Amino acid sequence: MKYFGYGILGLVAILVIAQLFLPDNGVGFVTGLVVYLISWWMIFFAMLPIGVQGQQESVDGVVPGSEPGAPVNPMLGKKAWWTSQITGVFWLIFFVIVEFHLLDLEDLPTIFAPEPFKVGLISLGLY
């Protein structure tokens, strides 16, 4: 499983760097990097509370002068590693969808838009 994570991150890195040399037909270098970084932080913040034990729950008790709810061992390195792997999988799915034009980024505002919004776009000649 460890090498699978390295493989995903390596593939993501190769595809992001390759976008510097390929024509921009979907996911450009900046778009890919921004989507990866924003997704990474969102997933990281979602993973922060997983497996955390507060000081008031630990056997050692609360360290004097600290918050009782502060984590004993937040495992940030482990969570960052898992976040990178999960984000790599999501980014690869995003890359395939956009690069192979399964869904265009320009269509996103109209796919989930309510009907009055679509009527406004039609009246402006944008839909």
Whole-angstrom CA distances from 42 to 3, 47, 82, 83, 119 are 24, 9, 13, 9, 33
How do residues 42-100 score in pLDDT, each as one tens digit? 999 999 999 888 888 877 778 888 888 888 888 999 999 999 999 999 998 988 888 88
If one compares 119 and 7, the residue with the highest pLDDT of the two is 7
Say what percent of the chain tops pLDDT 70: 76
pLDDT score, position 81: 92
H helices of 48-100, where? 76-99
Whole-prediction pTM value? 0.71
Give whichever of 7-11, 87-91, 103-107, 122-126 has the largest mean pLDDT.
Answer: 87-91
Between 121 and 59, name the one with better pLDDT. Answer: 59
Chain length of the chain? 127
